[in-house]
Amino acid sequence: MCPPSYYGDLCQYQNERVSLTLDLVRAERRNVHVIVIMLIDEEENINSYNQYEYIASQSCGIKLNRYLLFSKRPKNMSKNYSIRIDAYEKHSITYRGSWHLSIDFLFLPVNRISALLYMPFERTPILYNCFPTCINGECVQYLNKNYLFCRCFSGWSGIQCNIKLNCQRCSPDSICIGSINDRSICICPMMKFGPRCLLTSVCPKNACQNNGQCIPADISVSDSHYYGSKCEYRKGQLDIYLENLNIPSFLSTFFLTISNESEPQLAIMIQKLTLFQRRVTFRISIPYNLVIVELNRKYYLAAIQSISNLDLSTINPSHECLSIEILFKSTLMKMSRFQRIKFYHIPCQTNHDFNCFMDKFYLCLCTKDRHANCVEFNYDKNLQCSSKHYCANGAKCLQDHPTCPSAIICVCTNCFFGHQCQFYAKGLGLTLDEILGYEIKHNLIFTQQPFSVKLSAFITMIMLLIGLINGILSILIFKRKSSQEVGCGIYLFASSITSISIVILFSLKFWLLIYSYRDVFGKRIILFSNCMIIEPLLKLLLYIDNWLNGCVANERVFSIFKGIAFNKSKSRPMAKWIISIVVIINIILIFPPHVANTASIFAVNRGNFREAVNLYEMGAGTRSGKTAVNRQFYSGFSNMGQVLYLDLFDDINEERTWCVVLYSSLLNTYSSSIIFFHFFAPCLLNLFSAIFIIIGTARQRF
């Protein structure tokens, strides 16, 4: 039996091959991914492949070495070979992305390639400009190159995904991504294995404890509360309460483990804070002796000589570890590092309220005997993310470990929010959720909400009361036949209806928004209705009302211009036609130009059907499975729904659901232009009409 690199009856010949060394970096440590490595030619024919499961918590930092053999000996030198690496999420078998590695020296018998790849945080977006076009697949871009290719749906292959595969050998709940030597390449769902995914893996009883996830390799993936090979150990919990301190956007915590037998060990944990969050929970699996919290470039002592169990610490300004530059005079600071350290007992002896202080190299604690006990402390570690593509809109990306991060956070710039700072909360076209959402506290009754929320509710109810009275009286007045003798009366009657509808819808939207921040039955339906129905309808009615007021001014100008020749009988039917035209034009303008592409989007996404059906059968009953199915089926419909570019976004950190506007730069310009047009055009129409009426009336009198 020869190893992969040799062949022959005595294993005396070397195979032409590609030796690949691969290292993957992933932040979500609980997710399990299937990595498929394929040696392909220019026609997407697979020469050899390798498939393995990647678990970030187990495999991070471990390099993978694989041999990829050419299908013929010797290899065909007229073809261009390359390596394609596909990533799938194991639980839902959803495609995440692909990488492309070139083989530059094909004339060599053995090519050695090494690559460091960053797993995508989101699914690779679908594009529509592949050439040639994808027939039974979707156009995507490689994660590491600006190349486009057709990622084929299950059961298809080829450059255009036009070659039908015989996938009957794969189990129905798997995905068939190709074939080699008349054998299908199957991606198995969770708890299935084998070349055809026909074998079921049953985890041993009590293989994983405390809700750990069992992987068919006797591996347990623990949640954030537990650790160990069977998730049998509970992590230590440290709750830190911020007292009389400004709440930062994020918190960095340094856990120091000090031992006489080794150098001090430092573990760093970072966590993003919500707007009103003062209590932060950290869970750590190692014992620690010191806990230092960094808050707005200041350092506070949170715990001393603690062990990994439940603990609570409160930090306030008195816990700050001051810099030695503040405590020492300039003459002492001019000394060398080793000369200056001899005077580090002075701050402890002269300031009995001191707990700690620090310099660039040491963290010093004041003992009960008022002596300085110092330990090396490298607080200035580089926490910048290794990946530059996670955070959006110029946000600062931080991770707690340089190569195997367990947490990645984005520190947003002003007016941006979301876990990746992908949403913009400034400018035109904001929703009420974006304006008031951060003020509303989760699961609190109305009387316990902040003053700003109560004030907003008071103003809303006053607006509703005044709007109802004004609207009802206006409808009663302009409903009369005497008021509708000319077109102005019909315009004002229609405007009265839209005005009363606007105040009712706005009040309904406000109270539904308040109600949606409580855990109640049908919460998702309320959020969807508030975002997808009430929000666009409210904007549409507001635009129509502005134009109806402009039509009133325009008809008055026309009557002044015509004088006694003004025909009242013709103005009434003309007004009804104009109202219909105004409504139709406003509906058309609120839909961005992207609607024209909806048909092609549906044509591309119809190939997802089998993949989605397999996904649902496998993931039925699980939240992640259903979510993935919804994404597959919703992919076509969402593009039509995005004509208003509104969407619901679940912010896990904030525990909020936002109704956000998803704009590209082009659509942002379009939306801003439309908003300016709807507000300023009727305003200018009213202004010039008033000027013309004044001038025309004055001329008639004189």
343-397 pLDDT per residue, tens: 888 888 888 888 899 888 889 999 888 889 888 888 877 788 877 777 888 888 8
Among all chains, which residue has been given the structure tokens 């607006």?
463
Asked if residue 585 belongs to a domain, the reply is yes
d(CA 125, CA 137) in angstroms, rounded, equals 13
Q: Which residues does residue 127 pair with via DSSP β-bridges, in sequence order?
A: 139
Residue 431, pLDDT above cutoff 90: no
Domain boundary among 200, 233, 260: 200
The pLDDT tens digits of the residues spanning 594-637 come to 433 333 333 333 333 333 333 333 333 333 333 333 333 333 33
pTM across the whole model: 0.66
No. of H helices and E strands in the chain? 15, 38
Q: Which tokens is 168 given?
A: 């009957």
| Domain coverage including residue 457 | 432-592+643-665
User: What's the pLDDT tens digit per position in 112-142?
Assistant: 999 988 887 777 888 878 888 999 999 999 9
- Domain assignment present for residue 288? The answer is no
Domain count, the chain: 2
Dmax over CA atoms of the chain, in Å, equals 118
Reported confidence tier of residue 28, pLDDT bands at 50, 70, 90? low
What average pLDDT does range 489-505 have in this prediction?
93
Within a domain: 406: no
| Domain end (from 167, 200, 233) | 200
Amino acid identity of 420? Q
CATH number at residue 25: 2.60.40.2990
166, 200, 234 - which closes a domain: 200
Distances (CA, A) of 477 to 437, 547, 572, 702: 39, 21, 17, 34
* Residue 650 domain-assigned (yes or no): yes
Tens digits of per-residue pLDDT, 46-69? 999 999 888 877 777 788 999 999
For residues 544 and 535, give the distance between their C-alpha atoms in angstroms, rounded to a whole number.
15
Whether 255 is covered by a domain: the verdict is no
Mean pLDDT calculated for residue range 649-672: 70
**Domain of residue 468, CATH code:** 1.20.1070.10
Supply the pLDDT for residue 494: 92
Asked whether residue 195 is domain-assigned, the answer is yes
- Evaluate whether residue 293 is within a structural domain: no
Q: Which of 75, 79, 142 is nearest to 115 (CA)?
A: 142
| Structural domain includes residue 155 | yes
User: Is residue 7 pLDDT above 80, yes or no?
Assistant: yes
| Distance between first and last Cα of the chain | 114
Tens-digit pLDDT profile for residues 235-262: 888 899 999 998 888 899 999 888 877 7
